[in-house]
Amino acid sequence: MFGGFRLDEEGHLRAGGLRVSELAERFGTPLFVLDEDRIRENYRRFRQAFSSRWERVVVAYAYKANSALAVCRVLQQEGAGAEVVSEGELRAALKVGVPPERIFFNGNAKSEAEIELAVEKGVKINLDSLEEVEVVGEVAGRLGKEAEVGLRVNPGIEVPTHPYIATGVKDSKFGLELETGEALEGFRKALEVGLRVKGIHFHLGSQLLDLRPFEEGTRKVMEFAGLLKRELGLELEFVDVGGGLGVPERPGERGPSPEDLASRVVPILEEHAEGGKPFTLVLEPGRYLVGDAGLLLLRVEYVKPRKGGATWICVDGGTNLLLRPALMGTYYHMELADRRGEGGGEVVNVGGPLCQAGDVIGRGRRLPPVRRGDLLVVFNAGAYTLTMANQYNSRPRAAVVMVKGEKAEVIRKRESCEDIWRYDTLPSWL
Ligand code: LLP
């Protein structure tokens, strides 16, 4: 099963030492469940793969995957840095105690206020455009502070993933192009405006199961780093190869391990670093660290047989909590939380509660006979779920529970309807 979740002898799914059906009774549904130990294991496995091969490594957890403070705190305790892309994520990283030098601020449209905050706090800023180089130069000058920066380059590589999450391709909005000379100009300019140019950054895309693009990207970027040294005399202190390691989505599928990734990428770094000052290798995994540590528990409200078609299973959470099936057609594996030993089963579709025909989180799934009141478990729900959730149809967002062995506590409260209206006001004339 995904993430080490398992069925007990009586056929009940457990998270840590607890039955998920009991968690659903206790905390209500829809409910996200996160297994703390699994997050720690994922982090250690990832970190070890690289630090066994390279001296200085920073694993900067990508907060966009899951920015619940408890998750950020667990990873901070493990020693993770943070990859952040907004004021909110940056403040979260500082709040849980990540040292500023291990925070990497990415993004193609950082506001001046965000840049001021980043410079004030002394986090590393990965610059994404020629204009941003100038703005950060101005801000640092105005604040009388030194800004430590990297530049994000776009290596222009085709990556086999959904186009919405392929970021290192030629026409992507991210980074400075290697091919056209824009990246070199960016580095030159950054030095001119007095920034402390420390590193280079690239990120190819997300949910990558094929490791070849990582090799190609690393090779291109390291060749470019050689050019920077020759042309500008620049010795980089960090090389940030981004995130993107994919996870298996279907039962039986096998994804590449961090070991696989490290064994492909590190030799390329070694080859190019020869003779130079050893730099820090930065990685920005998100999904790999938290994806399989999470479950989404949904209650079956109704079962609706259709003559000549698949039965609809109607559950209490849909693409409001699990947006990716609607956005990108993502497959999420689902099972019933409690097996009753019945065989058979049929092919069903799983629909959420929203007034939107596209609110479907699973199609053509084979499940044991499903009844009203059953608990449906969605696997791989730890990354890019709650962070992408919305309140469409005025549905409060789900609660999140963290499990550690026999313990379970709420780490994010369930929203109420009052919360939905919290920022609404009526104008004076109504
Ligand atoms: N670093 C940068 C600069 C990124 O843009 C991303 C993801 C990551 C790190 C983390 O990538 P990961 O290891 O999690 O694949 N919302 C999308 C995924 C977002 C991808 C954007 N960047 C989804 O629903 O799959």
Give distance in angstroms: CA of 294 to centre of ligand 1.
17
Is 49 part of a structural domain of the chain?
no
Task: State the CATH number of the domain containing residue 309.
Answer: 2.40.37.10
Is 428 part of a structural domain of the chain?
no
Instruction: Give the end of a domain, one of 235, 267, 283.
Output: 283
Is 122 part of a structural domain of the chain?
yes
What is the average pLDDT score of the chain? 96
- Are both 120 and 165 inside the same structural domain? yes
Does the pLDDT value for residue 236 go beyond 70? yes
- Are both 279 and 181 inside the same structural domain? yes
What was the pLDDT predicted at 268?
Answer: 97
Give distance in angstroms: CA of 203 to centre of ligand 1.
9
Distance CA 141, CA 291 (A): 41
Residue 229 domain boundaries: 107-283
Instruction: Give the tens place of pLDDT for each residue, 245-274.
Output: 999 999 889 999 999 999 999 999 999 987
- Are both 303 and 230 inside the same structural domain? no
Among 39, 61, 200, 206, say which to mutate for ligand 1: greatest number of ligand atoms within 8 Å of CB: 206
- Are both 221 and 329 inside the same structural domain? no
Among 284, 328, 332, say which to mutate for ligand 1: greatest number of ligand atoms within 8 Å of CB: 284
Among 46, 50, 64, say which to mutate for ligand 1: greatest number of ligand atoms within 8 Å of CB: 64
3-state secondary structure the chain: CHHHCEECCCCEEEECCEEHHHHHHHHCCCEEEEEHHHHHHHHHHHHHHHHCCCCCEEEEEEHHHCCCHHHHHHHHHHCCEEEECCHHHHHHHHHCCCCHHHEEECCCCCCHHHHHHHHHHCCEEEECCHHHHHHHHHHHHHHCCCCEEEEEEECCCCCCCCHHHECCCCCCCCCEECCCCHHHHHHHHHHHCCCEEEEEECCCECCECCCHHHHHHHHHHHHHHHHHHHHHCCCCCEEECCCCECCCCCCCCCCCCHHHHHHHHHHHHHHHHCCCCCCEEEECCCHHHHHHHEEEEEEEEEEEEECCEEEEEEECCCCCCCCHHHHHCCCCCEEECECCCCCCCEEEEEECCCCCCCCEEEEEEEECCCCCCCEEEECCCCCCCHHHCCCHHHCCCCEEEEEECCEEEEEECCCCHHHHHCCCCCCCCC
Instruction: Give the tens place of pLDDT for each residue, 303-320.
Output: 999 999 999 999 999 999
Q: Which residues form the pocket of ligand 1, taking CB atoms under 6 Å from any ligand atom?
A: 62, 65, 83, 106, 165, 167, 203, 206-207, 242-245, 284-288, 324, 384, 388
Instruction: Write the residue with the smallest CA distance to atom 8 of ligand 1.
Output: 243
Report the atom number in ligand 1 closest to the C-alpha of 162.
Answer: 25
167-171, 189-193, 196-200: which range is least confident on average? 167-171
pLDDT band with cut points at 50, 70 and 90 for residue 128: very high
pLDDT band with cut points at 50, 70 and 90 for residue 341: low
Q: Radius of gyration (Cα) for the chain, nearest Å?
A: 23
Does the pLDDT value for residue 343 go beyond 80? no
Annotated catalytic, 355? yes
What was the pLDDT predicted at 196?
Answer: 98
Is 236 part of a structural domain of the chain?
yes
Instruction: Give the tens place of pLDDT for each residue, 344-380.
Output: 788 999 999 999 999 999 999 999 999 999 999 999 9
Report the atom number in ligand 1 closest to the C-alpha of 165.
Answer: 20
For 330, other C-beta atoms within 10 Å of its C-beta total: 17
- Are both 143 and 270 inside the same structural domain? yes
Give distance in angstroms: CA of 423 to centre of ligand 1.
29
Instruction: Write the residue with the smallest CA distance to atom 5 of ligand 1.
Output: 203
Does the pLDDT value for residue 108 go beyond 70? yes
User: What is the rounded average pLDDT of the residues 172-199?
Assistant: 96
- Are both 297 and 391 inside the same structural domain? yes
Instruction: Give the end of a domain, one of 283, 313, 331.
Output: 283
Instruction: Give the end of a domain, one of 232, 249, 283.
Output: 283
What was the pLDDT predicted at 168?
Answer: 72
Instruction: Give the tens place of pLDDT for each residue, 36-90.
Output: 999 999 999 999 999 999 999 999 999 999 999 999 999 999 999 999 999 999 9
- Are both 297 and 411 inside the same structural domain? yes
Give distance in angstroms: CA of 85 to centre of ligand 1.
10
Report the atom number in ligand 1 closest to the C-alpha of 164.
Answer: 17
- Are both 186 and 267 inside the same structural domain? yes
Instruction: Write the residue with the smallest CA distance to atom 7 of ligand 1.
Output: 206
Instruction: Write the residue with the smallest CA distance to atom 14 of ligand 1.
Output: 286
What one-letter code names the amino acid at 37? D
User: What is the rounded average pLDDT of the residues 320-336?
Assistant: 97
- Are both 248 and 126 inside the same structural domain? yes
- Are both 296 and 277 inside the same structural domain? no
Quote the percentage of the chain above a pLDDT of 90: 91
Give distance in angstroms: CA of 108 to centre of ligand 1.
14
- Are both 244 and 356 inside the same structural domain? no
Quote the percentage of the chain above a pLDDT of 70: 99
What was the pLDDT predicted at 153?
Answer: 97
- 170 and 153 Cβ atoms separated by less than 8 Å: no
Report the atom number in ligand 1 closest to the C-alpha of 203.
Answer: 3
Give distance in angstroms: CA of 243 to centre of ligand 1.
7
What was the pLDDT predicted at 274?
Answer: 75
- Are both 238 and 360 inside the same structural domain? no
